[in-house]
Structure 1
């Protein structure tokens, strides 16, 4: 998921992220605030993941939340 899309959808995704990674606290979620790099950092901190492993976790999870706009949306008249 694109970083801008992730940030824009953070309010909807926040609860899902907390379900996925139960060790993340409400304070962690406030710090993350829709920023992918901060989420990856918190996954490293809370779960002891390497940066690559945390990035992989993020990408696997976020791939199920695609941007809902059609690929050709900006070409429509």
Structure 2
């Protein structure tokens, strides 16, 4: 996946699309991105694959 948008932009886009997401949902200690992805997966009721597709989709806007 080619990353075009910054993490800050991606978070803002996700928060706009899923209004129940909070800044805390995107916080994770250095090197523990997987933990955040699992938390988002549960909160959005999406599989890891669906979540990856969602992030890829954000790069096309």
TM over 0.5: yes
Q: TM-score range by the shorter chain?
A: 0.5 to 0.7
Q: Runs of 4 or more off by more than 6 Å in structure 1? A: none
1:53 equivalent in structure 2: 50
Alignment partners' CA distance in 2, 1:20 and 1:39: 18
Q: Which blocks of at least 5 consecutive residues in structure 1 are unaligned?
A: 65-77
Superposition RMSD in Å:
3.2
Q: Which blocks of at least 5 consecutive residues in structure 2 are unaligned?
A: none
How many pairs does the alignment contain?
Answer: 58
Larger radius of gyration: 1
Q: TM-score, normalised by structure 1?
A: 0.49
